[in-house]
Amino acid sequence: MLGNAVIMGPGQATPRLSGMTVVGPCATDARVSETFPEIREAVRRLCARFPGPYWRALDRERAYPTEFVAALTEAGFLSVLIPEEYGGSGLGLAAGAAVLEEIHRSGSNGGACHAQMYTMGVVLRHGSAAQKQAYLPKIASGELRLQAFGVTEPDAGTDTTRITTFARREGDTYVVSGKKLWISRAEHSDLMVLLCRTTSRDQAAKPSDGMSVLLVDMREAVGAGLTIRPIRTMLNHATTELFFEDLRVPAANLIGEEGKGFRYILDGMNAERILIAAECIGDARFFIDRASAYAKDRQVFGRPIGENQGVQFPIARAYVQMTAASLMVDAAAALFEAGEPCGTEANMAKLAASEASWYAADMAVQTHGGFGFAEEYDIERKFRETRLYQVAPISTNLILSHVATHVLDLPKSF
Ligand SMILES: Cc1cc2nc3c(=O)[nH]c(=O)nc-3n(C[C@H](O)[C@H](O)[C@H](O)COP(=O)(O)OP(=O)(O)OC[C@H]3O[C@@H](n4cnc5c(N)ncnc54)[C@H](O)[C@@H]3O)c2cc1C
């Protein structure tokens, strides 16, 4: 399912974001991720208004960071990828990656709203002119939240062609029945991109045919055929399960052609994986920054623990791994922006970055000793948060399988 989907990059219009001058990527810079310095600085300033105690309080209650998301929306950071003609900044994917990396480096978490940045891509690339005009300007302004993405189902798991949520056509309406699992931000979204079957798998010409994408208006759907049930998880992620019982969706909300939805969804996954990889780079930098500071400060046996190579080397190794992964993220984003196939690179970047952030997380706990487990240091919270990215949005094994069979031509196992 991890095809080398060819995706159209977002518009290459003149960079613009809240009046700032944007400096382009400079991949050979020794500090590889210091691209878009003005955007990064502005994101850092915004995140400084939402320090550790803000996130800790939300984490305890598993509450949604409404104020943080509103501030990002107002500053225009969530609409950087929307072309200027629809009210966005018209920047490329690397700019979006810089925003999300800085959010995570600051100790904040973009998981509450990152999908507002890229889920609109399915409308932008495959929607009709009328749909683009109706939705994109309102998504750009934040008037409409499109940040729910309904693909995963309990009985299909990673094998998306096995989904069974079905949309039956009745005149100018689709009637949807079925269930979805792990659909994040559904309670905080006005619209949802929903992948469902319009032809059953056994009736379709091939397993990936017969799936369609519907844009569901959550404001009308909840209580009229859609039930949302929150799932409490090890991190604060506002994820849910969804139950559809004869939910009626106007046929005008079909995106693109009926039966071609799987391809549209794959298109968007490259952007998602690159942006989430950037979040992992931000997490790794957070852990490295915190561990370095603590190792210089904490005195044991009459000297800073950071004087011991047993403490230094894991921090240095985390930095090397983060830097290598960051270069992969930059390379994947550059391919995406050039409109080149980048499925393999997007997946490899996500794998490398999620492993770099997890190594850095473990290192930071070890460096902090007992304080690595104390809520007030934020290490344990970020440790739980960054673990997600080896499972979602795609698990490590599935990426390895793609590389093994598509790149190295090893025999397929499924
Ligand atoms: C917090 C959270 C938020 C999420 N948000 C969303 C969302 O907004 N929208 C959405 O659609 N989905 C979402 N997901 C779902 C996520 O994309 C899936 O959990 C992920 O893709 C893994 O699928 P699964 O859980 O069904 O695992 P399974 O497919 O059941 O796999 C379980 C394990 O087995 C391994 N495995 C399976 N088959 C093979 C194989 N052939 N070879 C080797 N290993 C294999 C997998 O790698 C995995 O480690 C979210 C998940 C979580 C936990």
- Mind listing the pLDDT tens digit of every residue in the chain (414 residues)? 333 322 223 322 233 333 333 334 434 344 555 799 999 999 999 999 999 999 999 999 999 999 999 999 999 999 999 999 999 999 999 999 999 999 999 999 999 999 999 999 999 999 999 999 999 999 999 999 999 999 999 999 999 999 999 999 999 999 999 999 999 999 999 999 999 999 999 999 999 999 999 999 999 999 999 999 999 999 999 999 999 999 999 999 999 999 999 999 998 999 999 999 999 999 999 999 999 999 999 999 999 999 999 999 999 999 999 999 999 999 999 999 999 999 999 999 999 999 999 999 999 999 999 999 999 999 999 999 999 999 999 999 999 999 999 999 999 999
Cα–ligand 1 centroid distance for 110 (angstroms) = 20
In the chain, the largest separation of any two C-alpha atoms, in whole Å, equals 79
Which among 158, 269, 275 is the best mutation to test ligand 1's pocket, defined by most ligand atoms within 8 Å of the CB? 158
Per the listing, tokens 């005009």 go with: 133
CA-atom Rg of the chain in angstroms: 21
Query: Are 262 and 208 contacting, i.e. CB atoms less than 8 angstroms apart?
Result: yes
Q: Say which residues have a Cβ less than 8 Å from residue 388's Cβ, sequence separation at least 6.
A: 111, 235, 237
Q: What is the structure's pLDDT at 267?
A: 82
236 lines ligand 1 (CB under 6 A): no
Atom of ligand 1 nearest to the CA of 237: 1
158 lines ligand 1 (CB under 6 A): yes
Q: How far apart are CA 160 and CA 151, in angstroms?
A: 7
Q: How far apart are CA 118 and CA 80, in angstroms?
A: 10
Atom of ligand 1 nearest to the CA of 414: 41
Residue whose CA is closest, atom 30 of ligand 1?
157
Q: How far apart are CA 355 and CA 284, in angstroms?
A: 9
Ranges of H-type helices in 196-308: 218-221, 261-297
Q: How far apart are CA 375 and CA 352, in angstroms?
A: 28
Query: Are 178 and 215 contacting, i.e. CB atoms less than 8 angstroms apart?
Result: no
Residue whose CA is closest, atom 25 of ligand 1?
157
Ranges of H-type helices in 298-342: 309-337
Cα–ligand 1 centroid distance for 314 (angstroms) = 30
Report which secondary-structure segment, H or E, holds 103.
Answer: helix 93-105
**97 closest CA partner among 280, 219, 237:** 280
182 lines ligand 1 (CB under 6 A): yes
Task: Give one word for 182, left, alpha or beta, with left for phi > 0 and alpha for psi -120 to 50.
Answer: left
237 lines ligand 1 (CB under 6 A): yes
Q: What is the structure's pLDDT at 16?
A: 33
Q: How far apart are CA 329 and CA 320, in angstroms?
A: 14
414 lines ligand 1 (CB under 6 A): yes
Q: How far apart are CA 352 and CA 331, in angstroms?
A: 13
Report which secondary-structure segment, H or E, holds 254.
Answer: strand 254-255
The structure tokens listed for 10 are 């977002």
How far is residue 312 from each of residues 291, 322, 355, 358, 367, measured CA to CA in Å?
A: 9, 15, 19, 17, 9
392 lines ligand 1 (CB under 6 A): yes
Tell me the whole-structure pTM to 2 decimals. 0.93
Q: What is the structure's pLDDT at 31?
A: 52
Query: Are 108 and 50 contacting, i.e. CB atoms less than 8 angstroms apart?
Result: yes
149 lines ligand 1 (CB under 6 A): yes
151 lines ligand 1 (CB under 6 A): yes
192 lines ligand 1 (CB under 6 A): no
Q: What is the structure's pLDDT at 7?
A: 27
